[in-house]
Structure 1
Amino acid sequence: MNKVDTHVRHVTKRGANLFAELGFSPDEARRHQAESQALIGQTQALKEQLMDELASWIEAHHLKQTEAAEILHVTRPRVSDVVNKKTSKFTIDTLVEMLTRVGKPVKLVVG
């Protein structure tokens, strides 16, 4: 049986520019980091918008989290995560699927 090397040789410090540590020039590293941060921000904003829709639907129907969980086919803690906008715990696909289950199909508009 082959052994897998799991030894950690380097840890990037919090707030460091990963692209600089990967060997990109300072200008390239700054550009890549800015682009990735913009994409992350756009994704987070989209997730928050989808979560707002779900939270509004729950509120409009006066549902308890356990009732919403049953309808959405998820656990009650997952509903809590939606209501509390814990975006890192969800993919966009999952949120779209949840909205579809409650009769709120999502339409994509590219601007």
Structure 2
Amino acid sequence: MAIETKSMQMTPADGNVFSDLGFTPEEAAKLKADSQRLVSLKRALQDHLVTELATWIEANDLMPADTAKILGITRQRASDIIEKNGMEFSIDLLVNMLARAGKSVTMHIA
């Protein structure tokens, strides 16, 4: 099995993947702004869901091991929720954990 040892030329990105993909500067700027807005909305939703879980954990005076067992996750992941470090959790998983905690999640779309 041969190991690739040749160096390759790499062109640095300009900070906008849409420009790098060949969109016009105007289109690239709009697409980047739109994608950043969507990412911000997703992060805000994740933060809200994690905060709800952390509040439930605190209200029930649960330890990470107990939390992990109830929510069906590892102890480390339970600690992440307690510390409100939830960006690595999918929205789907957070909703499932809230359901296991006896919480209902409702949605309002404007």
Q: Normalising TM by the smaller chain, what interval?
A: 0.7 to 0.9
Ranked by relative contact order (alpha carbons within 8 Å, sequence separation 6 or more), the top structure is: 2
- The Cα offsets for residues 6-34 of structure 1, whole Å up to 9 and x where unpaired, read as xx875764x71000000000010000000
The list of structure 1 runs, each at least 4 consecutive aligned residues, that deviate by more than 6 angstroms after superposition, is: none
Counterpart in 2 of 1:37? 36
Counterpart in 1 of 2:5? none
TM-score (norm 2): 0.85
The percent of aligned pairs where both chains have the same amino acid is: 42
Please show how residues 1-111 of structure 1 align to structure 2 within 5 Å: 13=13, 16-111=15-110
Determine helix, strand or coil for the equivalent of 1:23: coil
The amino acid that maps onto 1:82 is: I
What is the Cα deviation at residue 86 of structure 1?
3.2
Structure label with greater radius of gyration: 2
- The Cα offsets for residues 46-78 of structure 1, whole Å up to 9 and x where unpaired, read as 000000000000000001111111111110111
Counterpart in 2 of 1:3? none
Q: CA RMSD in A?
A: 1.9
Structure 1: which 5+ residue stretches go unaligned?
1-7
The amino acid that maps onto 1:23 is: G
TM-score (norm 1): 0.84
Determine helix, strand or coil for the equivalent of 2:87: helix
